Amino acid sequence: MRRLFLLLPLFSVIVYAQSIDPKSKIGYESINATDLKSHLTVIASDSLEGRETSYPGQKKAANYISDIFKKLNLKAIGDNGTYFQHFDVEVSRVDPETKIITDVNGVKKNFIWGTDFISEGAKDTAVSGSAVFVGFTDTELDSTAKAKLAGRVVFVFIGKKNFANDTSKATTMRRLFAIRRDAGAAATLMIPDIEGPATFEKAQEMMSSFGSDKGTMRMKDSSSQLRQQFIRFLVSPEVAEVVLKLSGKSLKQLKNEALQGEQFAPTFIDNATVTIVSKSIHEIKQIENVLGFLPGNDPDLKSQVVVFTAHYDHLGISRNGVLYPGADDDGSGTVTILELAKAFATNPIRPKRSLLFMTVVGEEKGLFGSKYYTNNPIIPLDKTTADLNLDMIGRIDTTHEANKDTNYIYVIGSNKISLELDSLLQIANNESEHLTLDYTFNGEHDPEQFYYRSDHYNFAKNGVPIVFLFDGIHRDYHKPTDTVDKILFGRMAKIGRLIYDLGWRLANLDLPLTKIPAQQ
């Protein structure tokens, strides 16, 4: 029985392979779990330090990927005949010397950034003012109270009042990173919950898991403003309690008052001064997409391209030394791109259209690599047939874990620009790997908004048909426990073969994909 079980996956590949184009069969069958594991063991290794954008580990990953492309004899179409497309980013982070000093009736206390308060960014300034507690981010003040806020440091409970007891993940995120800005106030200090999922400690953990405790990054040519224009920190309850004690109330009492009734009277504390010395560090760094190009074999169609994408960056190492290997996110997608490149490059027959294998950088920072490419495409976007994007395809999510269902993949966006693309995906699946194509997150009202959260979106918003394949959120998402030993390599190989078959079909179409007419 065990031996039969072990032979089934190989048998299934042979049976399915009989249904695909015989011209593509050698490449199709070359995609295997062993090679995927070999690549991922490198990409998610400690030596690559979590591949954080602009850090040495990311550079090592880029070099590893480019070396594979070179070995496959893919054409280097990047900068100056290399496999790299470079661009600059500006990084802004809080200077560790930033501090908060409270003076309560002549007793001073210093609070340390990262330990007692946190923020993604800071403004280079120093302010000092008496304190006021104003309720929640949506607490309305009358004109008299508003007039008294000038020059004061405003303390506010995180989020909107009506969501104060909502413990859902999405609401918790919105509450922790909510903003309130009162005209004339010197600074805003946000107070998290004392217990539950929205505590200061949870916020510290969350910032670390997204890498945002190291600052913010933007593309240097972006029109968005990076430097913070006002002071906003998330402070530990202890900081607020030191100031509030002069009022004779505890934070719990004050929060209960703010939750009751329609009106809340701000608590002004004139005998407590809060001084904030805020400093920031700014630097320019260069990062790079990695591109390998395989020319098509049709004289008329080789000017068109099918693009395969995955992001190779992750979260790096936290401030306290915890490494985030990112085996699934998105080491799994990255190494599958390498397998796809190998499969097409070693297949004896090339498809009609050209193929671009691109691992993009900076997805975790804001889809930077794909944005830069689509703003500066090497192959014109009107010659780009489709983008097939892989982001987390090596695990199963909590929904499927209970049933140990590994034979599924979430499909996002395949029918939003071209219904023909979605039909081709389903045909490819039915004639190859027979996965369950799950469209749960494809709806317009997906609360997670996954359609907008990976690199395919920058192609989609430019009118390029896309397919985004995704395994869903699992318990190790954005955690240091996203490791190679938990990856299901046989599952990855199946998904890789499906994308190979779909890519082959797209690259051999006689005509471009039919697109849904744009809404006026």
Bridge partners (DSSP) listed for residue 263: none
pLDDT tens-digit profile, the chain (520 residues): 222 223 333 333 333 344 789 999 999 999 999 999 999 999 999 999 999 999 999 999 999 999 999 999 999 999 999 999 999 999 988 999 999 999 999 999 999 999 999 987 778 999 999 999 999 999 999 999 999 999 999 999 999 999 999 998 889 989 998 999 999 999 999 999 999 999 999 998 888 766 666 788 999 875 544 455 678 999 999 999 999 999 999 999 999 999 987 788 999 999 999 999 999 999 999 999 999 999 999 999 999 999 999 999 999 998 789 999 999 999 999 999 999 999 999 999 999 999 999 999 999 999 999 999 999 999 999 999 999 999 999 999 999 998 999 999 999 999 999 999 999 999 999 999 999 999 999 998 998 999 999 999 999 999 999 999 999 999 999 999 999 999 999 999 999 999 999 999 999 999 999 999 975 4
Would you state the structure tokens that stand for residue 166, as one six-digit string?
A: 């909502």
Residue 210 confidence (pLDDT): 67
The 10s digit of each residue's pLDDT in 183-214 is: 999 999 999 999 999 999 999 888 876 666 67
Domains of the chain by residue range: 23-89+286-507, 96-278
68 in Cβ contact with 92 (< 8 Å) = no
Cβ-proximal residues to 306 (8 Å cutoff; 6+ apart), any chain: 351, 353, 354, 355, 356, 384, 385, 386, 388, 503, 506, 507
What b/e readout covers 223-239, taking b as 16+ CB neighbours within 10 angstroms?
A: eeebebeebbbbbbbeb
Burial degree of 501 (CB within 10 A; 0-12, 13-18, 19+)? buried
In this prediction, residue 212 carries a pLDDT of: 65
Tell me, yes or no, if the pTM score tops 0.75.
Answer: yes
Phi, psi of 427 (to 5 degrees): -65, -45
Please, which residues have CB within 8 angstroms of residue 417's CB and are 6 or more apart in sequence? 460, 463, 464, 465, 466, 515, 516
| Gap between the terminal Cα atoms of the chain | 60
pLDDT at 317: 94
Structure tokens at 112: 């340390």
In sequence order, which residues have a C-beta less than 8 Å from that of residue 33 and are 6 or more positions away?
Answer: 489, 490, 492, 493
Strands (DSSP E) contained in 14-152 are 84-94, 99-104, 107-112, 117-118, 125-136
The fourth-level CATH superfamily of domain 23-89+286-507 is Zn peptidases (3.40.630.10)
Percent of the chain's residues with pLDDT above 90: 84
Phi, psi of 271 (to 5 degrees): -95, 10
pLDDT tens string 148-189:
999 999 999 999 999 999 998 889 989 998 999 999 999 999
Secondary structure of residue 84 in the 3-state scheme: strand
Q: Please check whether the domain covering 96-278 is classified as CATH 3.50.30.
A: yes
